């Protein structure tokens, strides 16, 4: 194991908060983690973690970012950082994994325990075909030559093994990673946030695939996620982690309907939280898109072939009125991101026109400075959209270059206060903030020049449920205090319902349904919209909080 394992007297450990454990007895569990404690550079990251898994069981390990879920999975795999010092036991069948040398652990990884990571693109080698990477599992363990095509079909993927990862969609890449993880039919499969970045239909397909594989292959599944709705009908039991500890374990239905720990109750309440938007009348048209199409050139099969083009956005027309809160939903690849770039003036149009108050967003093929000032954007990853070398004051004042005259001296302090942060935060660097605070800073940057329209592009999809609830409540307050108009793009239908007045559904580059939020969610008119709503994970009705 990469980490250094040692024993510490139990009396030296920190006092623990009350822990609730409801377990079913199993004399021979498949996996038994007992008193697992770990520190990294002297900082406690896991504290007395204990749980077990039965053969063929699905256990969900849930909690917020930093709770220790992924570190627990890495400990089971023997992949803790070299700087980690750990104690406790991890028994897999009759084997204590903490006592094995790394050479012996490598024999177990892949053959006995498989793992599916959150981001499939980083888990796959972009320079090798998917068939070569799947076959590598067999070569490492000196197993029989694989039927790669049959393995791909087992995970519902009918593509050539000669394809490269970049030629596949996010859902297809995740299926390849799952195929690698189950290639040698391990007894335990660990899935670490396997559906976080996927749209609702792809997410439903991946979850159904994992459920089917555990049933047909007889595998146990350790599912790590922060989304309780995902595991509500997936897991046999749920273990809740907070600050490196397992604070409650119980069968799924019992834990959801009768949570015993305060933290568990808070997670359940946040998972079903809906922001309360102020009711208001919309005004005159603000943004108008008319017959908008965006195309991309396709590779030519030979130099003399006729140039073909792919249509990403196909003849789209819609209007956003002043004060309106509009949602845009659809599967990955439907054209949402391309349409967003077109609205921001970052994508040339094949046909059509986009205007803000009659002014085109593109002038002579370039972004119009006057309209750029009137529309701002909040991206999915706030850390990636900020320069980590600069302080907050400079980061959130970046839009000032769009103004014709100097901004007020207190503009930065006012923007920070508006999003619930302190003016003193202006002197800090971005790494000093949590994920939710960084997203607040991204919203402050969008607000600072008082734009007419803000585009939220998957702005809360990477946040934990409690942080997400706080950010949604912040948007509701800003909607009332600033009279914001926004376009909210997300694959999370529960969130979209919470923060919009009207929703557009996009498919294959076209708007296939445009209706008020409540009408869409209660009486969708198209089969595609109904399939999206049916695929969205949801918590059972009647939960506390």
Determine how many CB atoms are found less than 10 A away from the CB of residue 187: 19
Tell me the residue range of the domain where 322 lies.
282-374+453-459+483-537
Check residue 438 and give its pLDDT.
Answer: 87
Check residue 237 and give its pLDDT.
Answer: 96
In the chain, the number of structural domains is 3
Instruction: Give the SS3 label for residue 418.
Output: helix
Same domain flag for 209 and 245: yes
What parts of the chain have a pLDDT lower than 70?
1-26, 197, 545
Q: What is the CATH number of the domain that holds 317?
A: 3.40.50.300
In-domain check, residue 218: yes
Check residue 19 and give its pLDDT.
Answer: 58
Check residue 28 and give its pLDDT.
Answer: 84
**What mean pLDDT is reported for the chain?**
88
Same domain flag for 160 and 247: yes
Question: Would you call 331 exposed, middle or buried from its count of C-beta atoms within 10 A (0-12, 13-18, 19+)?
Answer: buried
In-domain check, residue 488: yes
Same domain flag for 154 and 242: yes
In-domain check, residue 277: no
Decide which of 427, 451, 475 is a domain's last residue: 451
Can you tell me the distance from the alpha carbon of 191 to that of 188, in angstroms, rounded to the nearest whole number?
10
Same domain flag for 144 and 234: yes
Same domain flag for 199 and 332: no
DSSP one-letter code for 464: -
Asked if 234 contacts 58 with a C-beta cutoff of 8 angstroms, the reply is yes
In-domain check, residue 313: yes
Q: What is the pLDDT of residues 21-51, one digit of tens each?
A: 554 556 789 999 999 999 998 899 999 999 9
In-domain check, residue 420: yes
Same domain flag for 399 and 370: no
Same domain flag for 160 and 194: yes
In-domain check, residue 464: no
- Structure-token pair, residue 465: 């449920």
In-domain check, residue 167: yes
Sequence-separated (6 or more) residues with CB below 8 Å from residue 187: 30, 55, 93, 112, 113, 218, 219, 220
pTM of the predicted model over 0.85: no
Same domain flag for 315 and 386: no
Same domain flag for 132 and 220: yes
Same domain flag for 173 and 113: yes
Of 346, 440, 442, 457, nearest in space to 387 by CA? 442
- Structure-token pair, residue 218: 């007889």
Can you tell me the distance from the alpha carbon of 222 to that of 165, in angstroms, rounded to the nearest whole number?
25
Can you tell me the distance from the alpha carbon of 313 to that of 338, in angstroms, rounded to the nearest whole number?
7
Check residue 230 and give its pLDDT.
Answer: 86
Cβ density class 395-409: b for 16+ within 10 Å, e for less: bbbebeeeeeeebee
Of 357, 358, 376, 360, nearest in space to 368 by CA? 360
Check residue 10 and give its pLDDT.
Answer: 38
Same domain flag for 287 and 329: yes
Same domain flag for 222 and 262: yes
Q: What is the pLDDT of residues 138-152, one digit of tens each?
A: 888 888 777 889 889
In-domain check, residue 32: no
């Amino acid at each position: 194991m990469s980490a250094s394992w040692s024993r510490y007297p139990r009396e030296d450990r920190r006092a623990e908060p009350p822990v609730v454990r409801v377990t079913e007895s199993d004399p021979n569990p498949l996996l038994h983690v007992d008193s697992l404690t770990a520190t990294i550079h002297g900082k406690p990251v896991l504290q007395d973690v204990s749980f077990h898994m039965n053969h063929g069981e699905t256990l969900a390990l849930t909690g917020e970012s930093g709770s220790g879920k992924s570190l627990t999975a890495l400990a089971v795999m023997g992949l803790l950082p070299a700087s980690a010092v750990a104690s406790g036991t991890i028994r897999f069948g009759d084997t204590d994994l903490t006592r094995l040398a790394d050479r012996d652990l490598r024999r177990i990884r892949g053959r006995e325990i498989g793992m599916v990571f959150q981001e499939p693109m980083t888990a796959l080698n972009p320079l090798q075909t998917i068939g070569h990477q799947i076959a590598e599992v067999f070569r490492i363990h000196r197993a029989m030559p694989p039927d790669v095509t049959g393995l791909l079909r087992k995970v519902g993927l009918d593509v050539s093994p000669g394809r490269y990862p970049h030629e596949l969609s996010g859902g297809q890449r995740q299926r390849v990673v799952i195929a690698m993880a189950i290639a040698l039919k391990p007894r335990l499969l660990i899935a670490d946030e396997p559906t976080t970045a996927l749209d609702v239909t792809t997410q439903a397909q991946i979850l159904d695939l994992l459920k089917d594989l555990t049933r047909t292959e007889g595998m146990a599944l350790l599912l790590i996620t922060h989304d309780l709705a995902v595991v509500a009908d997936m897991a046999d039991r749920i273990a809740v982690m907070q600050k490196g500890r397992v604070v409650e374990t119980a069968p799924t239905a019992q834990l959801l309907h009768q949570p015993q720990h305060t933290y568990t109750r808070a997670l359940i309440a946040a998972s079903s939280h809906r922001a309360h938007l102020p009711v208001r009348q919309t005004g005159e048209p603000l943004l108008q898109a008319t017959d908008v199409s965006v195309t991309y050139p396709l590779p030519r099969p030979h130099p003399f072939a006729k140039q073909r083009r792919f249509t990403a956005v196909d003849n789209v027309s819609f209007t956003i009125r002043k004060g309106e809160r509009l949602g845009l939903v659809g599967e990955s690849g439907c054209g949402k991101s391309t349409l967003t770039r077109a609205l921001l003036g970052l994508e040339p149009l094949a046909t059509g026109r986009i205007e803000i108050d009659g002014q085109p967003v593109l002038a002579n093929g370039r972004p119009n400075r006057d309209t750029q000032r009137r529309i701002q954007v909040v991206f999915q990853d706030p850390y990636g959209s900020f320069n980590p070398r600069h302080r907050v004051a400079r980061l959130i004042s970046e839009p000032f270059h769009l103004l014709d005259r100097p901004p007020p001296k207190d503009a930065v302090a006012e923007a920070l206060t508006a999003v619930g942060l302190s003016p003193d935060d202006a002197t800090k660097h971005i790494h000093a903030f949590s994920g939710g605070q960084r997203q607040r800073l991204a919203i402050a940057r969008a607000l600072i020049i008082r734009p007419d329209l803000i585009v939220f592009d998957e702005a809360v999809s990477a946040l934990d449920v409690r942080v997400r609830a706080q950010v949604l409540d912040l948007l509701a307050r800003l909607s009332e205090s600033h009279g914001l108009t926004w376009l909210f793009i997300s694959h999370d239908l529960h969130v979209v319902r919470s923060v919009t007045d009207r929703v557009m559904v996009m498919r294959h580059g076209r708007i296939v349904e445009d209706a008020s939020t409540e009408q869409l969610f209660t009486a969708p008119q198209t089969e595609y919209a109904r399939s999206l709503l049916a695929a969205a994970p949801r918590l059972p009705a009647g939960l506390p909080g």
